[in-house]
Chain A
Amino acid sequence: MKKLTILGVSLLFSTLTIAQETSTIKEQDTTKLEEIIIIGRRKLSNYRQEKTLSSIDDYLEKSNRITMIKRGNYAWEPALNNMVSDRLAITIDGMQIFGACTDKMDPITSYVDVSNLEKVVITSGQEGTENAHSVGGGIDLKLPQSTYYDSGLKTSIDLGYETNGNYSVGGLDIEYSGNKFYANLDGIYRKSDNFEAGNNEEVLYSQFEKYNISFQGGYKLSKSHVLDANIIYDRATNVGYPALPMDVSLAEATIVSLKHTYKSDSARIKSWESKLYFNTITHIMDDSKRPDVPIRMDMPGWSDTFGFYSKATFKKDKHNLLFNFNGFYNRSLAEMTMYPNDTSQPAMFMYTWPDIRTLYTGLYVKDALALNEKETISASIRLGFHNNKIAEEAGLESLQIFYPDIEDSKNRFLISTSANYELKHKAYDATFGLGYGERAPSVSEGYGFFLFNSFDNYDYIGNPTLKNEKSLEANIKANYYFKDFKLGIESSYFHIMNYIIGEIDESLSPMTIGANGVRVYEGLNYANIFNVYLNSTYKISKKVSLNGTIGYNHGKGSNDENLPLIRPVTYLAEINYSTSNFNAALQLDGNSTQNKYSSNYGEDKTPAYTILNLNLGHSFLLKDNKIILKYGVENLLDKNYSTFADWNNIPRQGRNFYLNISYVIL
């Protein structure tokens, strides 16, 4: 352990002191505080190499600012800047979509697969409000663009196997690109048994099975007009959640969109994209596989969203303008039926999300103004109208038990704004940003009814009278280039007022058997969240490079309590060897001890850990067809560990050998 740490730190420092630049798969556009993860599945990469058939979750985890909260081996919940989904704007290519699970067992990212996406755009803080209001930032999962290359049919087959959990994956992708017509059909299937933590410790109820089918069709109406249709159907069954008292028997999503794109090189309007969309999610929690539960229950949930956006970019003189007018209507309904152990008693029923309708319309405007060749300033604003309505009379009445004076409808006006200054030199670049933003409470925060949180063992009651959460933020990002060395720093500071968090109400009696009590969502006076990351890359030779990252995070509330789920000091060091058709990487990844844990919110001190991963990749041609082989060992030393982001300290995967083969028929 100690040796590993020393190795890691020395690797890191070596990259810091002797330095060089390497190309990374993370395209980093410095004009925004934005990070783009390309889902380059069938390409070799020399930065945090991923498997061809990684889940979206694995890809997201490669971003510095993102941590994945794990309740099992499936459907991890992304947190950005140490903030979870309530504070983020997570969209699928600009489309609003909301999970149907009251316990966050189905983050949006679980309803898409790598085969559906082209890239993921991660924008921190108020820069991430192009699609919706947020405090922490935005994650937009980009669908692929239709292409009109007249390249004909292209078929790819992906197969993967991993020893840990007997995990197998298969994917088929058929693409046709014509002059005027584009079609892509793909499917992916994944199945895993229980995985094993280090030392062959089987983690019960960690199995899952899913498939995902998607179709994208495009038609080029004219030179500048294109119509696209996209359908994604995703269905997961038999998903175990070892960290929770319940599993999921079905998580199903249908995501449909129709898009019109106008593009022009000459006109003042550079592009104009309009989309109509609809998505529906069914999520069924079930405990039938668990032998011992205090009470049997069913907890189904549904979420349907209709929406549109229309966005256009303009260029006039030195101005680059972006307008995005969008709106959505969401219906979230979840219920719980409990079956008493005394069968003579009737089943117990309640609405946990009492048919909440959310209507939102808003306008986003951004202008980037190039002052000169080196300096750019940009500003953005989003104004929105947000309405929540309790459609179920029984739901309104049940919430009136706690809030006798509430009405069924509540309106909110939201504003988000940001300003950036950017400087670009040959040897360095820097971006400074300031932002102010507001968000409305999420459905659970506003209207949840006895939602059990197994993390702190409390029942949560939503609070319809919550004020908007408001955030003031400052951020900085700077890179310094010296020959083959690159040193980067990125940091954000958030001062969040009316920080929404559950506070214990001693007077309330918990509903869940064995729960410690009840928390009601309240606005904490304020909370501060700070993070800083230091990145470095050094290219030793044409083939060998080093990467190193070290990060520090801090989160504290005005009540002087640590915030939950704040990442401790984290580090990553990597040595890479790469040629055009082979690469190898040895990775060292770890966290320090979580000393600033939040015992108030059910956290305990998570010990430090370091793991080693070895990844290898080959690509070669077989006749005219391309084969990509990716293989390696994760958690090489079979360390038994869990991180701060593991719900109820469930351990992470032990040693895992994997092999992914892609066969591309051109």
Chain B
Amino acid sequence: MKLKYILPILFISLFNIACSSDDDTPIINEIEDLLKVQDIINNTHTIELYTKSGMFYTGYNEVSIRIKDNTNDAFFENATINWMPIMQMMTMQHSCPKSSLTKAEGKDTVYTGFVIYQMTNADGSGWSLTFTYTINDVEYTVTDTINVMQFDNQNVTSFMGSDDTKYIMVLIEPDSPKIAINNLKVGLYKMESMMAFPVVENYTITLDPRMPGMGNHSSPNNTDLTYNIADGMYNGDLSLTMTGYWVLNLKLLNEQGIVLKGEDVTEANTQSSLYLELEF
């Protein structure tokens, strides 16, 4: 009777010992905690795209990239990579804000950057990614279509300011919001042309988070967002008093303090025309 219980335990422990003895030379997995979005392949190389979720969504996407040699399945450590996302529309095409791609800190084969898709088609189609990269002074290029899914909440917004400039604003942090004072990080870009989206510096973004489901409940100790030269983004404190659906009501002010977009939340006006959404 007792043997019935002891035997499986014995087997399990033996099995564990057997397994663990294999791990003498641990191989560092450079893509740990990342999921592959897709491979983009040309004749010589395979470009592997990774994100945390294994998908591209509208809004801010942190992307990790490896380039594999198709001949020997080895990853290059000395590439210089440029990329260009393009949205093909009926009559025109445009790009979106993005960073450059640089070698990930502490890794040999992984290059990282971010891309901010401001919109997508309902079925996720329309976007393509072109990589132009140099390995050992030889330039290669590869292009493929990608799928960008619409994120449930408004985590990115593009709008026309009162200065007749088109801006793109994106929520970057909190990545996993908490009932606490969260660090709110927002990116702000100017649409200079269809292909150029430079960072807008030294503006101010006021913040008023609300819960429409709770009679537009707000929270204390929020701070306005100010520009941080170090990361080229806007940072502030965001207090979230409970989990649920939050609307971050915002106002964008330029260096002279002139409101370019957004209104105060009042009894009559329950939401600013400039806002981002958050759910947790």
Chain A contact residues, CB within 8 Å of chain B? 294-295, 336, 338, 340-342, 345-351, 394, 397-398, 400-402, 404, 449-450, 507-514
Contacts and interface: CB of A to CB of B under 8 A. Distances in A.
B144 to A, nearest CB: 34
29 contacts: A295-B213, A336-B242, A338-B214, A340-B213, A340-B244, A340-B245, A345-B213, A345-B245, A345-B279, A346-B279, A346-B280, A347-B243, A348-B243, A349-B242, A349-B244, A397-B180, A397-B181, A398-B179, A400-B180, A401-B180, A401-B239, A401-B240, A404-B221, A508-B220, A509-B218, A509-B220, A511-B214, A511-B242, A514-B215
A507 B208 CA distance: 13
Given A295-B213, A338-B214, A402-B221, A345 B181 contact: no
Contacts of A513: 214-215
B178 A397 contact: yes
A388 B19 CA distance: 46
Interface in B237-252: 239-245
B213 A348 contact: yes
A349 B181 contact: no
B221 to A, nearest CB: 6
Interface in B219-257: 219-221, 239-245
B202 to A, nearest CB: 26
B214 A401 contact: no
Contacts of B221: 401-402, 404
A513 B216 CA distance: 9
A394 B240 CA distance: 11
Interface of B: 178-181, 211-221, 239-245, 279-280
Nearest to A513: B215
B215 A401 contact: no
Given A349-B243, A398-B241, 6 more contacts: A340-B244, A345-B245, A347-B244, A349-B244, A398-B179, A401-B180
Contacts of B245: 340, 345-346, 348
Contacts of A341: 213
Q: For B239, B240, B241, which residue has the most chain A Cβ atoms within 10 angstroms? A: B241
Contacts of B216: 509
Q: For A336, A350, A514, which residue has the most chain B Cβ atoms within 10 angstroms? A: A350
B242 A404 contact: no
Q: Would you list the 8 A-B pairs with minimal beta carbon distance, nearest first?
A: A397-B180, A348-B244, A340-B213, A509-B218, A350-B242, A345-B245, A513-B215, A349-B243
Contact of A511 (B178, B241, B279): B241
B277 to A, nearest CB: 10
Contacts of B212: 342
Contact of A295 (B178, B181, B214, B220): B214
A514 B217 CA distance: 10
A181 to B, nearest CB: 39
A458 to B, nearest CB: 14
Contacts of A350: 179, 241-243
B121 to A, nearest CB: 22
